[in-house]
Chains A and B, each alone.
Chain A
Amino acid sequence: AQTVTQSQPEMSVQEAETVTLSCTYDTSENNYYLFWYKQPPSRQMILVIRQEAYKQQNATENRFSVNFQKAAKSFSLKISDSQLGDTAMYFCVLDSNYQLIWGAGTKLIIKP
């Protein structure tokens, strides 16, 4: 069975600090995508960053970057210069054969 595990239920950091959210996954597939989605209190599900498994280069989107370790099946998200608007639930998601497997989420709180 394919699984996604987020071991940090909740994290909090000061504004402007850097924070890393952890994610491990398990799949027997060789081709897949990994995503980080952000869900603020508004409930909207927002794509933060995407990683294709066959690409060795780690994806980056402005202040957001990932550390993708395919052999270790690890996919962590780093948020640099954190902002108050980054406060949200963050979900690590595995897309394998067009089926999304979701982690339980990490609640991230950015303190002023």
Chain B
Amino acid sequence: NAGVTQTPKFQVLKTGQSMTLQCAQDMNHNSMYWYRQDPGMGLRLIYYSASEGTTDKGEVPNGYNVSRLNKREFSLRLESAAPSQTSVYFCASRTNRPTNYGYTFGSGTRLTVV
């Protein structure tokens, strides 16, 4: 099925450990995004990539890095995890087609940092 695939779905890290969240889309979208969702809140933008080869900071970029590996893949890396990064992480991609404009989200990664 076409869509956005995120891995892993769950992860527990110790403070100071590093990890990379993977995201891939098969809809040929140019734009991809990483969001975090904290309890009782909407999503907040961490980083985005408007097209292959470009990345930009969002609202809450501190502690994260991203890589737009190719048009399909956009990864999020935590170099030194902190308890404040405990959250649910969503990857999304966006179509520009006027008739079907919108965002498709992955199923999320629940990350716990202890």
Q: In this assembly, does A75 line the interface, its C-beta being within 8 Å of a C-beta of chain B? A: no
CA distance A99 to B31 in the complex (A): 11
CA distance A98 to B29 in the complex (A): 13
Count, A-B residue pairs, CB within 8 A: 48
The answer to whether B102 and A35 have CB atoms under 8 Å apart is yes
Q: In this assembly, does A64 line the interface, its C-beta being within 8 Å of a C-beta of chain B? A: no
Closest to A6 in B: B42
The answer to whether A104 and B108 have CB atoms under 8 Å apart is no
B interface bracket (residues with beta carbon within 8 Å of A) = 20 to 34
The answer to whether A91 and B50 have CB atoms under 8 Å apart is no
The answer to whether A104 and B101 have CB atoms under 8 Å apart is no
The answer to whether B45 and A98 have CB atoms under 8 Å apart is no
The 8 Å CB contact of A102, one of B43, B88, B107, is B43
The answer to whether A47 and B45 have CB atoms under 8 Å apart is no
B53 to chain A, nearest CB (A): 17
A26 to chain B, nearest CB (A): 15
The answer to whether A45 and B105 have CB atoms under 8 Å apart is yes
CA distance A91 to B102 in the complex (A): 15
Q: In this assembly, does B47 line the interface, its C-beta being within 8 Å of a C-beta of chain A? A: no
CA distance A52 to B88 in the complex (A): 29
Q: In this assembly, does A30 line the interface, its C-beta being within 8 Å of a C-beta of chain B? A: no
Closest to B108 in A: A43
Closest to A42 in B: B107
Q: In this assembly, does A50 line the interface, its C-beta being within 8 Å of a C-beta of chain B? A: yes
CA distance A48 to B45 in the complex (A): 21
Chain B residues, CB < 8 A from A105: 40-42
7 contacts between A and B (CB under 8 A): A42-B107, A99-B45, A100-B35, A102-B42, A104-B42, A105-B41, A105-B42
Report which B residues bind A (CB closer than 8 A): 31, 33, 35, 40-45, 50, 58, 88, 90, 92, 94, 101-103, 105, 107-108, 110
